[in-house]
Amino acid sequence: MVSQARKLQIQEELRKILNPEQYEAVVETDGALLILAGAGSGKTRVITHKIQYLVNIGVPASSILAVTFTNKAAREMKERVAKLVGKGKKGITITTFHSLGLQILEKEITHLGYRGKFSIYDDSDCQKLLKEIIHELRLPEDEYDLKDLLFKIGLIKIKMSSPSSIDDPNLPRIYEMYQKNLMAYNAVDFNDLIKLPIILFEEHPEILEKYRNRWRYILVDEYQDTSSMQYRLMKMLAYKHRNISVVGDDDQSIYSWRGANSSNISMFEQDFYPIKEIKLEQNYRCTGNILKAANSIICCNTDRKAKKLWTSGSAGHLIQWYEARDPEDEAEFVMTYISRLHLEGYKYSDFGILFRMNNQSQPIEELLRTNNIPYKVIGATKFFERPEIKDILSYMRFIANMEDEVSLTRIINTPKRGIGNATITAIMEHAKETNSSMYCSIRDFVRLGVLGPKTTPYLEDFYNLIEKYREQIFKPRNIARTVSNLVDEIDYKGKLLLEVKDPKSVQYKMRNISQLYQSISNYEKNPDNMDPNIYEYLQRVSLSTRDDENDGDEISLLSIHSAKGLEYKVVFVIGVEDGLIPHDKTMEETGTDQEERRLFYVAVTRARERLFLSYPRERTKFKETSQRNPSPFMSEIPEDVIETLDIEKDLGKKDTLAMLLDKWNLQDDK
């Protein structure tokens, strides 16, 4: 540790750049600390300066662990810490919960009976596995929605509950076989990345002790979103030294439907008693009017820690409210004001359009496409989940893990090579009889020729293909080249031309595959990757999310849930109507509007400068038109911060959407 005089000097420097509450949160290093950080209050600033402070006062960098939820948040935190700490950053662990679990499992998973390098199954892989299990158990396949079944299994793990807690008498059997098959394939699912380290620590206290002694100072971001499972992992790691700081905002707890446990704050207070609590209430993001609306909305919730956001900045523009005729009119309203503000100097990327349900974006997307305006839908199909990318990744995954039978069944006849379902069934049955893998069965069938002269050559070609590229792909910095050669050899483009027929669609898919080559090549060329290999690349892919994609100058369309942690200069919240905000289904399931009000609060606080709220007076669904009413939350917004829009009066009758778009296009042409 540094001398007391140097410590006081460091603290004095921090006082100059932090507000009093931020300063207190940064220099409080020993013991358990709960930091209640309101929206836009600078929580990331606090976490990064706290890491800097710990390093500057002499805490070894390797003993600091900071955990957040998304790859993007972790990446931004790393970048900020690097600027603050410089060379001192080496050894600091800044990661997501799932990456942390992966880091532990990569070193320790053999203690749980797994075999070295393992695969991480994504949702589609898991659903395929569940389909096989339902068939094997002879359950009625038409009664099971695979997506819903996987969601239930995920909740069992996240909440650390029993399979019998779900109202389905078959679920315990399905769950047991699901876990058994994952292990047989030397694979884990996404939730296992946190569940398995917990089991590891419970069964091997000496391993837990090793990691406890490694990370003596722990910081947890977005704490209000932690599940029971995530909290348990953090508690196990932190309980010995008890130097843990959790940063969160109970007013932004909106993920209970996917397992976030709102009681984790009270659990933290009990388990780490006595704790210190610090509130960050000064907002650096929103204008005064937006904050006044946000405070008025959220204060109606009773189940919360009392806090009130404030700003030293200006009141800013009034919040704009628009009652549209229908969703199409609402879309034209959004586009009209985006066009106007774009002409005033706002960039595409300054706009965020938020909605409660994904299908609400359709009328707006149609207008954007028609007028060639760049946009992105956040939360849409991820790059690595596109079918053509999944095909190639499945080849890579099987070559890396010969026991990954989900990947094997995807690629064995992709492209079609004369290996039909009967052959695949025979391979599976032989594998069960001999207690071996499907690939071992393929090898046996090829050597013995038991499938006859018609099928054996096809199986032999596939076997030789895998062996050939397995030999090549492990050569240093040869992954991208090997994958490219593989795609050419199997004539994947020819497969697409036969299946898709549309040449433009084929070109699009092949362009995606070219992007995959580039992704692999970038990974191999990155000097930070000392030993680039296929295992590490595939692990990175498995942990990737939509927020990993590069941000361009595009308008963002996203659900309110997806908007958590993001901000825009101008925000449009559409469909602010009763039945959507709050949502009828959520109200029926929970009997309370508290989380729905928090959701609306999150939507409002995404706006930095301008906020537009709207709803359609009527909406048509299944050819039936219904009248809609404004959200009851609108009555909670003070009248002095909001105004109702009359487009013709505000813009002038001559400034129609078409005219604004013409001006916009002329401006962009320049």
- Residues known to be catalytic: 43-44, 221-222, 252, 606
Rounded to whole angstroms, how far apart are CA atoms 26 and 53?
7
Q: Which residue reads 């807690």 in tokens?
A: 165
What would the two tokens of residue 564 be? 């958590």
The closest alpha carbon to 633, from 202, 296, 392, 163, belongs to: 296
Angle at 570 between CA 635 and CA 634, to 5 degrees: 5
Rounded to whole angstroms, how far apart are CA atoms 7 and 18?
16
Q: Which residues pair with 119 in a beta bridge?
A: 187
Measured from the Cβ of residue 634, the count of other Cβ atoms closer than 10 Å reads 19
The closest alpha carbon to 573, from 296, 352, 339, belongs to: 352
Burial classification of residue 153, based on how many CB atoms lie within 10 Å of its CB (0-12 exposed, 13-18 middle, 19 or more buried): buried
Helix (H/G/I), strand (E/B), else coil: 323: strand
CB-CB contact of 75 with 344 (8 Å): no
What would the two tokens of residue 578 be? 């009763």
Q: Which residues pair with 355 in a beta bridge?
A: 559
CB-CB contact of 556 with 339 (8 Å): no
Angle at 64 between CA 22 and CA 216, to 5 degrees: 105
Sheet holding 217-220, edge to edge: 93-96, 64-68, 217-220, 244-248, 32-37, 275-280
